[in-house]
Amino acid sequence: MQRFLNDPNEVVDDTIQGYLYHNHDIQILPQNQRVVKLKKINKKVALVSGGGSGHEPSFVGYVKRGLLDAAAIGEVFSSPTAKSFLDAFKAADQGEGVACIFGNYSGDNMNVKSAILDAEDEGINVRYVVSRDDIASAPKEKQEKRHGIAGLYYMWLVAGQVADRGGKLDSVCNAAQKAADNTRSICVGLHELILPAVGHPNFHIKDGTYEMGIGHHGEEGLETYPIEPANKIAERMSNALIDDLDLKSGNEVAVMLSGLGSTPISEQYILLRGVEEVLNKHKIKTVRTDVGNLVTSLNMNGAALTFMKLDGDLKPLLPSTSYS
Protein backbone atom coordinates (compact mmCIF):
# COMPACT_ATOMS: atom_id res chain seq x y z
CA MET A 1 0.00 0.00 0.00
CA GLN A 2 1.60 3.25 -1.16
CA ARG A 3 0.13 6.21 0.71
CA PHE A 4 1.23 9.63 1.96
CA LEU A 5 1.45 8.61 5.61
CA ASN A 6 3.84 8.85 8.51
CA ASP A 7 2.65 6.48 11.23
CA PRO A 8 -0.67 4.86 10.15
CA ASN A 9 -1.77 5.04 13.78
CA GLU A 10 -1.30 8.82 13.83
CA VAL A 11 -3.21 9.60 10.63
CA VAL A 12 -6.06 11.44 12.42
CA ASP A 13 -3.81 13.79 14.39
CA ASP A 14 -1.59 14.44 11.36
CA THR A 15 -4.68 15.28 9.30
CA ILE A 16 -5.99 17.74 11.88
CA GLN A 17 -2.62 19.44 12.25
CA GLY A 18 -2.27 19.78 8.49
CA TYR A 19 -5.75 21.24 8.26
CA LEU A 20 -4.84 23.85 10.88
CA TYR A 21 -1.86 24.97 8.79
CA HIS A 22 -4.23 25.65 5.91
CA ASN A 23 -7.14 27.19 7.87
CA HIS A 24 -6.23 29.96 10.27
CA ASP A 25 -9.70 30.72 11.63
CA ILE A 26 -9.98 27.44 13.51
CA GLN A 27 -8.17 25.88 16.43
CA ILE A 28 -7.99 22.68 18.42
CA LEU A 29 -8.77 22.72 22.11
CA PRO A 30 -5.63 22.68 24.28
CA GLN A 31 -7.27 20.15 26.61
CA ASN A 32 -8.61 17.93 23.81
CA GLN A 33 -6.74 17.51 20.53
CA ARG A 34 -9.77 15.85 18.94
CA VAL A 35 -12.04 18.89 19.09
CA VAL A 36 -11.86 21.61 16.43
CA LYS A 37 -13.65 24.96 16.80
CA LEU A 38 -13.88 28.37 15.20
CA LYS A 39 -11.58 30.81 16.97
CA LYS A 40 -14.40 33.34 17.15
CA ILE A 41 -18.00 32.16 17.44
CA ASN A 42 -20.84 34.65 17.09
CA LYS A 43 -23.51 34.86 19.78
CA LYS A 44 -26.16 32.54 18.35
CA VAL A 45 -27.30 28.95 18.55
CA ALA A 46 -24.13 26.90 18.18
CA LEU A 47 -23.89 24.06 15.65
CA VAL A 48 -21.83 21.02 16.58
CA SER A 49 -21.26 17.72 14.82
CA GLY A 50 -18.78 14.91 14.95
CA GLY A 51 -17.93 11.48 13.69
CA GLY A 52 -15.19 9.18 12.62
CA SER A 53 -12.27 10.34 10.50
CA GLY A 54 -11.84 9.10 6.95
CA HIS A 55 -14.68 11.16 5.47
CA GLU A 56 -12.71 14.38 4.97
CA PRO A 57 -13.53 17.16 4.51
CA SER A 58 -16.17 15.93 6.97
CA PHE A 59 -16.07 16.70 9.77
CA VAL A 60 -13.13 19.00 10.39
CA GLY A 61 -13.50 20.73 7.01
CA TYR A 62 -17.00 22.02 7.77
CA VAL A 63 -16.05 24.01 10.84
CA LYS A 64 -16.70 27.21 8.92
CA ARG A 65 -18.79 30.36 9.11
CA GLY A 66 -22.36 29.44 8.26
CA LEU A 67 -21.81 25.76 9.01
CA LEU A 68 -20.36 24.13 12.13
CA ASP A 69 -18.95 26.04 15.09
CA ALA A 70 -17.18 22.98 16.48
CA ALA A 71 -16.67 19.31 15.69
CA ALA A 72 -15.59 16.25 17.65
CA ILE A 73 -13.22 14.00 15.69
CA GLY A 74 -12.99 10.23 16.16
CA GLU A 75 -10.52 7.64 14.96
CA VAL A 76 -10.97 6.37 11.41
CA PHE A 77 -14.58 5.20 11.06
CA SER A 78 -15.05 5.32 14.84
CA SER A 79 -17.18 7.60 16.97
CA PRO A 80 -15.62 10.46 18.92
CA THR A 81 -15.68 9.90 22.65
CA ALA A 82 -18.45 11.27 24.85
CA LYS A 83 -15.84 13.58 26.36
CA SER A 84 -14.98 14.99 22.93
CA PHE A 85 -18.64 15.70 22.20
CA LEU A 86 -19.00 17.34 25.62
CA ASP A 87 -15.89 19.45 25.09
CA ALA A 88 -17.22 20.51 21.68
CA PHE A 89 -20.55 21.56 23.26
CA LYS A 90 -18.74 23.60 25.92
CA ALA A 91 -16.40 25.22 23.42
CA ALA A 92 -19.19 26.18 21.01
CA ASP A 93 -21.91 27.28 23.44
CA GLN A 94 -22.62 31.02 23.46
CA GLY A 95 -25.51 30.85 25.89
CA GLU A 96 -28.14 30.32 23.16
CA GLY A 97 -28.04 26.52 23.19
CA VAL A 98 -26.31 23.92 21.04
CA ALA A 99 -27.72 21.93 18.11
CA CYS A 100 -25.81 18.67 17.61
CA ILE A 101 -26.38 17.26 14.11
CA PHE A 102 -24.79 13.87 13.47
CA GLY A 103 -25.18 10.57 11.61
CA ASN A 104 -27.10 7.57 12.89
CA TYR A 105 -24.47 5.12 14.14
CA SER A 106 -24.63 3.26 17.44
CA GLY A 107 -21.41 4.70 18.85
CA ASP A 108 -22.30 8.28 17.92
CA ASN A 109 -25.80 7.90 19.36
CA MET A 110 -24.50 6.54 22.65
CA ASN A 111 -21.71 9.10 23.07
CA VAL A 112 -23.79 12.12 22.04
CA LYS A 113 -26.58 11.23 24.47
CA SER A 114 -24.10 10.67 27.28
CA ALA A 115 -22.44 14.03 26.54
CA ILE A 116 -25.83 15.80 26.51
CA LEU A 117 -26.58 14.54 30.02
CA ASP A 118 -23.22 15.85 31.23
CA ALA A 119 -23.80 19.16 29.43
CA GLU A 120 -27.14 19.57 31.20
CA ASP A 121 -25.33 19.22 34.54
CA GLU A 122 -23.17 22.16 33.46
CA GLY A 123 -26.15 24.29 32.42
CA ILE A 124 -25.71 23.87 28.66
CA ASN A 125 -28.90 23.25 26.67
CA VAL A 126 -28.20 20.73 23.87
CA ARG A 127 -30.65 19.23 21.39
CA TYR A 128 -29.75 16.71 18.72
CA VAL A 129 -30.94 15.84 15.21
CA VAL A 130 -29.90 12.60 13.50
CA SER A 131 -29.33 11.99 9.80
CA ARG A 132 -30.69 8.73 8.35
CA ASP A 133 -30.27 9.36 4.64
CA ASP A 134 -28.52 6.15 3.46
CA ILE A 135 -31.32 4.21 1.74
CA ALA A 136 -29.14 1.11 1.33
CA SER A 137 -28.54 0.65 5.06
CA ALA A 138 -32.13 -0.38 5.89
CA PRO A 139 -35.44 -0.75 4.02
CA LYS A 140 -37.92 2.10 3.81
CA GLU A 141 -40.21 0.57 6.44
CA LYS A 142 -37.30 0.61 8.91
CA GLN A 143 -36.00 4.12 8.24
CA GLU A 144 -35.13 4.61 11.91
CA LYS A 145 -32.29 2.10 11.41
CA ARG A 146 -30.74 3.85 8.43
CA HIS A 147 -27.28 5.38 8.69
CA GLY A 148 -26.44 9.01 8.14
CA ILE A 149 -23.93 9.76 5.41
CA ALA A 150 -23.57 12.59 2.88
CA GLY A 151 -27.00 14.04 3.68
CA LEU A 152 -25.52 15.66 6.79
CA TYR A 153 -24.07 18.31 4.49
CA TYR A 154 -27.51 19.70 3.62
CA MET A 155 -28.64 19.53 7.23
CA TRP A 156 -25.66 21.66 8.25
CA LEU A 157 -26.31 24.16 5.47
CA VAL A 158 -29.97 24.60 6.40
CA ALA A 159 -29.42 24.70 10.17
CA GLY A 160 -26.53 27.12 9.71
CA GLN A 161 -28.75 29.55 7.84
CA VAL A 162 -31.42 29.52 10.55
CA ALA A 163 -28.82 29.97 13.30
CA ASP A 164 -27.09 32.84 11.49
CA ARG A 165 -30.43 34.59 11.05
CA GLY A 166 -30.97 34.58 14.80
CA GLY A 167 -33.24 31.54 15.02
CA LYS A 168 -33.78 29.97 18.42
CA LEU A 169 -32.67 26.44 19.26
CA ASP A 170 -36.06 24.90 18.47
CA SER A 171 -36.16 26.61 15.07
CA VAL A 172 -32.64 25.50 14.19
CA CYS A 173 -33.35 21.88 15.12
CA ASN A 174 -36.73 21.87 13.39
CA ALA A 175 -35.10 23.06 10.16
CA ALA A 176 -32.39 20.41 10.44
CA GLN A 177 -35.03 17.76 11.05
CA LYS A 178 -37.02 18.85 8.01
CA ALA A 179 -33.87 18.65 5.91
CA ALA A 180 -33.21 15.17 7.29
CA ASP A 181 -36.76 14.02 6.55
CA ASN A 182 -36.45 15.14 2.93
CA THR A 183 -32.92 13.92 2.17
CA ARG A 184 -31.81 10.55 0.76
CA SER A 185 -28.43 9.22 -0.38
CA ILE A 186 -26.98 6.15 -2.06
CA CYS A 187 -23.39 5.14 -2.78
CA VAL A 188 -21.78 3.07 -5.52
CA GLY A 189 -18.30 1.58 -5.41
CA LEU A 190 -15.93 0.73 -8.26
CA HIS A 191 -13.01 -0.24 -6.04
CA GLU A 192 -12.79 -0.94 -2.33
CA LEU A 193 -11.06 1.22 0.30
CA ILE A 194 -8.06 0.38 2.47
CA LEU A 195 -7.85 1.31 6.16
CA PRO A 196 -4.44 2.94 6.85
CA ALA A 197 -3.78 0.92 10.01
CA VAL A 198 -4.80 -2.37 8.35
CA GLY A 199 -3.23 -2.10 4.92
CA HIS A 200 -5.70 -4.24 2.99
CA PRO A 201 -9.38 -4.11 1.96
CA ASN A 202 -12.06 -5.76 4.09
CA PHE A 203 -13.87 -6.93 0.94
CA HIS A 204 -13.17 -7.08 -2.78
CA ILE A 205 -15.00 -5.62 -5.78
CA LYS A 206 -14.18 -7.81 -8.75
CA ASP A 207 -12.69 -6.20 -11.84
CA GLY A 208 -15.36 -5.42 -14.39
CA THR A 209 -18.09 -4.95 -11.78
CA TYR A 210 -19.42 -2.27 -9.44
CA GLU A 211 -21.48 -2.43 -6.27
CA MET A 212 -24.66 -0.47 -5.61
CA GLY A 213 -25.43 0.49 -2.03
CA ILE A 214 -21.98 0.22 -0.48
CA GLY A 215 -21.52 1.57 3.04
CA HIS A 216 -19.54 4.70 3.87
CA HIS A 217 -17.26 2.61 6.08
CA GLY A 218 -16.36 0.18 3.34
CA GLU A 219 -19.24 -2.24 3.81
CA GLU A 220 -20.19 -4.43 0.86
CA GLY A 221 -22.96 -3.25 -1.44
CA LEU A 222 -26.47 -4.65 -1.80
CA GLU A 223 -26.17 -5.52 -5.49
CA THR A 224 -23.32 -6.22 -7.90
CA TYR A 225 -23.56 -5.29 -11.59
CA PRO A 226 -21.23 -5.64 -14.56
CA ILE A 227 -19.61 -2.27 -15.19
CA GLU A 228 -21.92 -0.06 -17.26
CA PRO A 229 -21.74 3.36 -18.92
CA ALA A 230 -21.80 6.21 -16.42
CA ASN A 231 -25.26 7.29 -17.59
CA LYS A 232 -26.68 3.88 -16.69
CA ILE A 233 -25.07 3.95 -13.22
CA ALA A 234 -26.41 7.48 -12.71
CA GLU A 235 -29.85 6.27 -13.77
CA ARG A 236 -29.84 3.41 -11.24
CA MET A 237 -28.75 5.75 -8.43
CA SER A 238 -31.20 8.50 -9.35
CA ASN A 239 -34.19 6.18 -9.72
CA ALA A 240 -33.51 4.61 -6.33
CA LEU A 241 -33.62 8.05 -4.69
CA ILE A 242 -36.64 9.21 -6.70
CA ASP A 243 -38.55 6.12 -5.59
CA ASP A 244 -37.56 6.42 -1.94
CA LEU A 245 -38.39 10.14 -1.76
CA ASP A 246 -41.55 9.62 -3.82
CA LEU A 247 -40.55 12.48 -6.12
CA LYS A 248 -43.09 13.60 -8.70
CA SER A 249 -43.15 15.78 -11.78
CA GLY A 250 -42.83 19.42 -10.73
CA ASN A 251 -40.90 18.72 -7.53
CA GLU A 252 -37.68 20.65 -6.88
CA VAL A 253 -34.48 19.18 -5.45
CA ALA A 254 -30.97 20.01 -4.37
CA VAL A 255 -28.44 17.51 -5.74
CA MET A 256 -25.07 16.60 -4.30
CA LEU A 257 -22.62 14.30 -6.09
CA SER A 258 -19.62 13.52 -3.90
CA GLY A 259 -16.60 11.49 -4.81
CA LEU A 260 -15.63 8.90 -2.22
CA GLY A 261 -11.92 9.58 -2.18
CA SER A 262 -10.19 8.53 -5.39
CA THR A 263 -12.84 9.28 -8.01
CA PRO A 264 -11.59 11.85 -10.57
CA ILE A 265 -13.50 15.13 -10.58
CA SER A 266 -14.12 14.70 -14.29
CA GLU A 267 -15.96 11.42 -13.66
CA GLN A 268 -18.04 13.07 -10.94
CA TYR A 269 -19.25 15.62 -13.50
CA ILE A 270 -19.97 12.85 -16.00
CA LEU A 271 -22.16 11.17 -13.39
CA LEU A 272 -23.86 14.47 -12.58
CA ARG A 273 -24.74 14.94 -16.25
CA GLY A 274 -26.39 11.52 -16.21
CA VAL A 275 -28.29 12.39 -13.03
CA GLU A 276 -29.60 15.60 -14.59
CA GLU A 277 -30.83 13.69 -17.63
CA VAL A 278 -32.87 11.39 -15.39
CA LEU A 279 -34.32 14.30 -13.40
CA ASN A 280 -35.21 16.15 -16.59
CA LYS A 281 -36.94 13.04 -17.90
CA HIS A 282 -39.08 12.96 -14.76
CA LYS A 283 -39.65 16.74 -14.98
CA ILE A 284 -37.99 17.26 -11.57
CA LYS A 285 -36.25 20.62 -11.32
CA THR A 286 -32.74 20.95 -9.87
CA VAL A 287 -32.40 24.15 -7.84
CA ARG A 288 -28.87 23.62 -6.56
CA THR A 289 -25.98 21.26 -7.32
CA ASP A 290 -22.91 20.52 -5.20
CA VAL A 291 -20.12 18.46 -6.77
CA GLY A 292 -16.72 17.42 -5.47
CA ASN A 293 -15.07 15.42 -2.73
CA LEU A 294 -17.54 16.67 -0.12
CA VAL A 295 -18.05 13.56 2.02
CA THR A 296 -15.53 10.83 1.24
CA SER A 297 -14.59 7.36 2.40
CA LEU A 298 -10.79 7.24 2.56
CA ASN A 299 -9.53 6.07 -0.87
CA MET A 300 -12.74 4.43 -2.10
CA ASN A 301 -13.28 4.75 -5.83
CA GLY A 302 -16.97 5.50 -6.06
CA ALA A 303 -19.59 8.18 -5.56
CA ALA A 304 -22.38 9.23 -3.22
CA LEU A 305 -25.52 10.77 -4.69
CA THR A 306 -27.81 12.84 -2.45
CA PHE A 307 -31.18 14.43 -3.18
CA MET A 308 -32.95 16.87 -0.88
CA LYS A 309 -36.60 17.46 -1.77
CA LEU A 310 -37.37 21.16 -1.49
CA ASP A 311 -40.47 23.09 -0.48
CA GLY A 312 -41.32 26.65 0.50
CA ASP A 313 -39.56 26.24 3.84
CA LEU A 314 -36.34 24.50 2.79
CA LYS A 315 -35.66 26.24 -0.53
CA PRO A 316 -35.08 29.73 1.00
CA LEU A 317 -32.65 28.18 3.50
CA LEU A 318 -30.16 27.04 0.87
CA PRO A 319 -27.30 29.57 1.00
CA SER A 320 -25.74 31.02 -2.11
CA THR A 321 -22.34 29.88 -0.83
CA SER A 322 -21.11 26.58 -2.21
CA TYR A 323 -18.33 24.59 -0.56
CA SER A 324 -17.65 22.48 -3.64
List 55, 147, 191, 216, catalytic entry:
55
pLDDT of 211 strictly over 70: yes
Angstrom CA distances, 97 to 45, 119, 121, 231, 267, stand at 5, 11, 14, 45, 42
Q: What is the pTM of this model?
A: 0.96
Q: For the chain, first and last CA: distance in Å?
A: 29
User: What does the pLDDT read at residue 225?
Assistant: 97
22 a catalytic residue = no
Other CB atoms within a 10 A radius of the CB of residue 215 amount to 19
Q: What is the pLDDT of residues 14-68, one digit of tens each?
A: 999 999 999 999 999 999 999 999 999 999 999 999 999 999 999 999 999 999 9
Confidence class of residue 324 from pLDDT cuts 50, 70 and 90? Answer: low
216 a catalytic residue = no
Q: What is the pLDDT of residues 262-276, one digit of tens each?
A: 999 999 999 999 999
Exposure on the CB side of residue 269, measured as CA atoms within 13 A? 4
User: What does the pLDDT read at residue 230?
Assistant: 98
Lowest mean pLDDT among 43-47, 204-208, 233-237, 303-307: 204-208
- Return the higher-pLDDT residue of 236 and 202: 236
Mean pLDDT, to the nearest integer, of 167-181?
98
- Return the higher-pLDDT residue of 183 and 202: 183
User: What does the pLDDT read at residue 219?
Assistant: 87
List 147, 191, 216, 217, catalytic entry:
217
User: What does the pLDDT read at residue 321?
Assistant: 72
Mean pLDDT, to the nearest integer, of 69-98?
97
Confidence class of residue 1 from pLDDT cuts 50, 70 and 90? Answer: low
Do 262 and 194 meet the contact criterion of CB atoms below 8 Å apart? no
Which residues contact residue 311 at a Cβ distance below 8 angstroms, ignoring those fewer than 6 apart?
182
Q: What is the pLDDT of residues 143-163, one digit of tens each?
A: 999 999 999 999 999 999 999
Mean pLDDT, to the nearest integer, of 232-245?
98
Q: What is the pLDDT of residues 274-286, one digit of tens each?
A: 999 999 999 999 9
Query: One-letter amino acid identity for 14?
Result: D
